[in-house]
Each structure stands twice: as C-alpha cells, then as structure tokens.
Amino acid sequence: MKNLKTEIYEMRNFLLLWITQAFSGLGSGMTSYALVIWSYTQKGSALATSMLMICSYAPYVLLSIFAGALSDKWNKKATMLVCDTVAALTTVAMLALLHFDALEIWHLYVINAVNGLMNTVQQPASEVAVTRILPEKYYQKVGGLKYFSNSLNTILKPIIATAILGIAGMGAIVAFDLLSFGVAFAVLAFAVKIPGSSEDSQKQDKLLTSVKEGIGYLTKERGIFDLILFLASINLVASIYEAAFPAMLLSRDGGSEQALGLVNAVIGVTMLLGSILASFAKTPRSRVRVICNCLLFSMSFENFILAFGRTPFIWCIGGFLGWIAIPLMSTNLEAIMRLHIPVRMQGRVYSVRNSLQFFTIPIGYFLGGFLVDKVFEPVMALQKDGSILVRLFGSGKGSGAALLFFVIAFAGILVCLYFRRDKHIWELER
C-alpha cells in the first residue's frame, strides 16, 4: 500500500493529465463514432466514410515533420491549450450546423482536417510533456495506462453514443463532447504543472535546421528508423482494415449498427484486459521480440476470422484475438522510443516519426474505401450462387469487404515476417 501511495504521488501530474484527457477523448470518440454511422447512412459508400479519416490524418503527412520542431521551441502547456481551443471551436461550429439542420458531409471533411492539424501540433508537445512530468521508471506503465483509457473509451463510446442518439440525437453527443473538453482544458490550465527546460529558452535554431536535426538523428539511428518503417507498413494494412470494417458490419447479412457497436465494445474490453496485463508486466528480456511477436499474432488471426465470419459472435472472437496483444506491443514500443531518443530531441524526432509512421494511413483509408466500393464489391456481385467465393465469403453487400479482409490478412503476415528479419531493429536490444 505504501508503494502504491508513493507511485501515485510521483505520478500525480501525469495522472491528472491522463484522466481528464481520457474523459475528453471519450467525448471526441463518441462524436467520431456517431459521425461514421451518419456518413455511411447518408452515402452508403465506404470511400465517402473513409474520407473522414483521410482528412484527419492528411495534416500528419503534410505538416507533422515541422510541428515537432515548432513544439520544441514553444511552451508545451500553451501549445496544448491553444490546439485544444481551436478544436473546441470546430465542435461548436458542428453543433451550430446541426441546430440549423445544415450539416453536410463536406463540413465534416473540413472540421476533421482542422482537428487533424491541431492534433499534429499538439501531439509532440504532449509527448515531451509526459516525459518531463514522469520519472523514467514509470515509462512502461504509461503505455499500459494509455491503452487502459483508450480501451475503456472503445467500450463506452458505442454504448453511450447509441443511447444518446436514440434519446436526444446527434446534437446532445456533440454537446457532451464540448463538456468533456471544458473539464480537460480547466485541469490542464490550472492544475497540471509541466516543468520547463532551460534549453527551451535557449533554442534559436531556424525551423528547417530543427527539421534537419530530426531527420539526421533518424538517419544515424537505423534501428529506430527501420522500426518506424515497420509500423508504417502495419498502419497501411490496418487502415485498409479500418476502412472496410464499418462497411462490412453495417451492410452484410448479420450486420447492423448494433453489431458494429457490439464488436467495437468487445475490442474495447479486450484492449482493457490487455492494457491491465501490460501495466503489470515485467520488463521483458527482448522488447523487440515482444513487438514483432505481438503484431504477427494479431495479423495472423483477426482478418481471417472477420473474412470468414457471418455472425457478430464470430466477429467478436476475431476482435479479441486481433487486439489482446496490441497494448503489450505498444508499451514496449513507447519504452524503446523514450529510452533511445534524448529528451531535447524528442519533439523534432517524434514529428519526423509521425510523418513517416502515419503517411500510410490516409493512403490505406483511400485504398480500403476504393477497393471495397470499386473492386471487391463489384467482383462479388458478379459471382454466381454456389461459386467458391460465395461459399467462402457470402453474397450481397458486405461480401466484398469480407474478401478484402482475406487479402489483407496475408499482407499483414508478410510485413511482420519481413521486418522480423531486419538486423537493425534487433540492434535496439543493445
């Protein structure tokens, strides 16, 4: 008990930040979940729905490489507060459009792009802030706690969002989002202390110089660079999955809004369980082996089960097997990054990492939406009753998405096996 009290005291600033930001994340997640359903209902197109996430991630690709360098120069707390404020204003705009019954899908594309830009700037500042307020011995716990909150939000957002949608409508969800933001903003502004660094006031480097330093660091640290490329490849496969997932569960036989919510809730429970295990897991002998094995395990099961499954129960099994090991992977990945990258370089290096690691996500979302709408659904529509593809993946809308899951399962496994043999990644164990 004494040790627990000591840990809470030493982590108090982080815990305040983590709890309130998680609450705000719940509000944002509920809004995003409801908007996916709304956009697919409006258009019936996987590509149109995927554009929501493409707009969110596009700023990462275009501007993240500069955002970290700027973050290194700016006050971390002020940066986070300004970004949160702008994001809140976009939410107010969405609420106004809903009130006047004027909300269109292109409005959401613009709002998501602005929010994506704010997140691009805020994230490196937040990463450095966590490093400064948290003792090194708790780095692995951070990853577990983050996944705990993310998984809890994954459980709660479909349940609460569905309930509020049925009772009070979309406007009430957006209003809850604003309320959660207000709580997080107040705590960050008045209760969380983020230590400054003497280096912050001394930095006079030009922007391009800072960016070059971040790129130069990764060029020299080949293990970190190859690990980022590994994750970028996984993100490509995963974003294709994310684009096809709601299209399949909302449209095929056995699927529905309730089925989508159920599978998402199971994934959330799974992540919660995995994050608890990760939080209490001992430091492994090989963090690299844990990362590689966890991703291979995930890719080897979920996509195949989703491809062949025809009921929410089977899809839930796929979600469990696909996500149970991800929190453990993430905690070890975060520990490697924090331990190998100097604090003074983290902002600019994380920004370059974000550009490299996430540039595949909008590509994957586009490919996923395009392949579902233009390739795999038309292919399945041409199949005759009793054909091998119909027997394997069913018929009607959603069967094309199931076929796509089968294809990307092999892609994910091949990516894991390829990078598992990368000698530079294994050098991070030294």
Model confidence over 328-386: pLDDT tens digits? 998 888 888 888 888 777 767 877 787 788 889 999 999 999 999 999 999 999 999 88
Place of tokens 């999955």: 241
Contacts of 322 (CB under 8 A, 6+ apart): 267, 298, 301, 302, 303, 305
Is the pLDDT score of 202 beyond 60?
no
Q: Which tens digits make up the pLDDT trace of 267-292?
A: 888 888 887 888 778 888 889 999 99
Span 140-160, average pLDDT: 77
- For residue 201, tell me if it sits in a domain: no
Letter for the amino acid at 102? A
Residue 316 structural domain: 11-189+211-429
pLDDT of residue 206: 62
pLDDT of residue 69: 64
Q: Select from 238, 260, 261, 242 the least CA-distant residue to 251.
A: 260
Letter for the amino acid at 110? V
- For residue 371, tell me if it sits in a domain: yes
- For residue 355, tell me if it sits in a domain: yes
Place of tokens 């209490």: 280
Contacts of 418 (CB under 8 A, 6+ apart): none
Residue 398 φ/ψ, nearest 5 degrees: 105, -25
- For residue 23, tell me if it sits in a domain: yes
**Rounded Cα–Cα distance for residues 294 and 325 (Å):** 5
Question: Residue 61: pLDDT band by 50, 70, 90 thresholds?
Answer: confident
**Total number of domains constituting the chain:** 1
- For residue 6, tell me if it sits in a domain: no
Question: Residue 201: pLDDT band by 50, 70, 90 thresholds?
Answer: very low
Span 89-105, average pLDDT: 87
Q: Which tens digits make up the pLDDT trace of 203-251?
A: 445 667 767 777 888 888 888 999 999 999 999 999 999 999 988 888 8
- For residue 4, tell me if it sits in a domain: no
**Rounded Cα–Cα distance for residues 417 and 412 (Å):** 9
Alpha helices (H) in 44-138, listed in sequence order:
46-73, 76-99, 105-133
pLDDT of residue 28: 86
Question: Residue 163: pLDDT band by 50, 70, 90 thresholds?
Answer: confident
pLDDT of residue 235: 94
Q: Which tens digits make up the pLDDT trace of 29-60?
A: 888 888 888 888 777 788 888 898 899 888 87
What is the token pair recorded at 151? 């998984």
Q: Indicate which CATH number applies to the domain containing 153.
A: 1.20.1250.20
**Rounded Cα–Cα distance for residues 367 and 371 (Å):** 6
Torsion of CA 153, 151, 147, 305, to 10 degrees: -140
Span 179-187, average pLDDT: 90
Higher-confidence position of 326 and 126: 326
Model confidence, pTM: 0.78
Span 163-167, average pLDDT: 79
- For residue 5, tell me if it sits in a domain: no
- For residue 203, tell me if it sits in a domain: no
